[in-house]
Chain A
């Protein structure tokens, strides 16, 4: 087992979808950590949205840039908060959590791919027991 040094992480910055829109317009990056079966039902649209499922996040977190604002997102904000803290543990300083996630994004009428009908599959997905 890899040796991990415990760190006292500061409280993560959490932002709403509306604030996310402003940051995205200023060059921020939205990263979707939902699992592949969730991302199309619906998906975030109107910006580049790389997908790194939480179940693959430890192996792929190097894909997240350190030199721009990064907004982590999922269905409701729980898994993305976990990913946010993980990046903070790894020394990322420009990372924040969108809370709530695509549920509120849809409610606010922001652009999506697909339809909101399949969103129920994502709601309630837990970050415990696995990634």
Chain B
């Protein structure tokens, strides 16, 4: 199972990011676990200043916007 973390203090774009990962994973038939991290100290603890951001495993793979469908599909297919 792939473990994603969505970093952001709870705005609409952060929710859209989690939704995009969920929808794309379902489309790809992948099982994912998504943890939303909304605490600022933990968010910046990943070295991230611009949110929403996405962490796959322990690596920041995206920051500053809602990822596209193709980006998420790339992560699911191991291109991250």
Contact = CB atoms under 8 A, between A and B. Distances in A.
A89 B52 contact: no
Nearest to B58: A6
Given A1-B60, A1-B61, A85-B40, A129 B45 contact: no
Interface stretch (A7-15, A16-24, A101-109, A117-125): A7-15
Given A4-B60, A58-B49, A82-B49, A128 B44 contact: no
Interface size class of A (residues with CB under 8 A): 20 to 34
A126 B50 CA distance: 12
B13 to A, nearest CB: 5
A81 interface: yes
B9 A128 contact: yes
Interface size class of B (residues with CB under 8 A): 20 to 34
A6 B58 CA distance: 7
B52, B60, B61 interface centre (most CB from chain A within 10 Å): B60
Contact of B45 (A9, A78, A131): A9
A86 interface: yes
Contacts of A81: 40
Interface of B: 8-14, 40-41, 44-52, 58-64
Give the 8 A-B CB pairs with smallest separation, nearest first: A4-B47, A85-B44, A128-B11, A128-B9, A129-B13, A9-B45, A4-B60, A129-B11
Interface of A: 1-9, 11-12, 54, 57-58, 78, 81-83, 85-86, 88-89, 126-131
